[in-house]
Amino acid sequence: MKCPFCSADDTKVIDSRPADDNSAIRRRRQCEVCGKRFTTYEKVETIPLIVIKKDNNREPYNRQKIEAGIVRSCHKRPISADQIRRLVDEIETEIFNREEREISVNVIGEIVMNKLKNFDPVAYVRFASVYREFKDVNTFMDELKKILDHNEEHSDESV
């Protein structure tokens, strides 16, 4: 690391610790030539992710869009902002673990629905009704039946 004061290449790390929310490392460094100290931050470089929309347009990934959709789905549900933040973190981790440069909005929607299904069934149905663009009550009822069947299967397993 080059010293910002004298431009010498010879610097040493004298202290390292996590910064902010553990998303970076804060390092205190000292120049071996001039003796001055300075701080650097080391952060993981993420691949810019492009989302392919339903109309095949492309736009940069935006966490706020996922968060907004989940907030709307959880409206008047007993779910805290912190729980929503953690859920979005899980979704985002799954998206970025795919290590793809482009991802379809359909794939993102399915990931969100899979997470919501176990998180809050009401929020799941609300999200699914918008995402899947339910055309009528029968489509909506079919989705509800799937959830009820799924819940019955899991309640039988615990007996």
Q: 0.75 exceeded by the pTM?
A: no
Task: Give the model's pLDDT for residue 139.
Answer: 75
In a domain, 150, yes or no: no
37-43 vs 102-104, strand pairing mode:
unpaired
pLDDT of residue 99: 83
Total count of domains within the chain: 2
Domain that includes residue 36, residue range: 11-43
CA distance 96 to 44: 13
Same domain for 39 and 54, yes or no, is: no
Q: With a cut of 70, list the residues of the chain below it in pLDDT.
A: 20-21, 45-47, 134-135, 151, 154-159
The answer to whether residues 54 and 119 belong to one domain is yes
| pLDDT computed for residue 10 by the predictor | 92
Q: Are residues 15 and 77 in the same domain?
A: no
Long-range contacts of 34-43 (CB under 8 A, 24+ apart): 34/3, 34/5, 34/6, 34/8, 36/3, 36/5, 36/6, 38/3, 38/4, 38/5, 40/1
CB 8 within 8 A of CB 2: yes
CB 121 within 8 A of CB 143: no
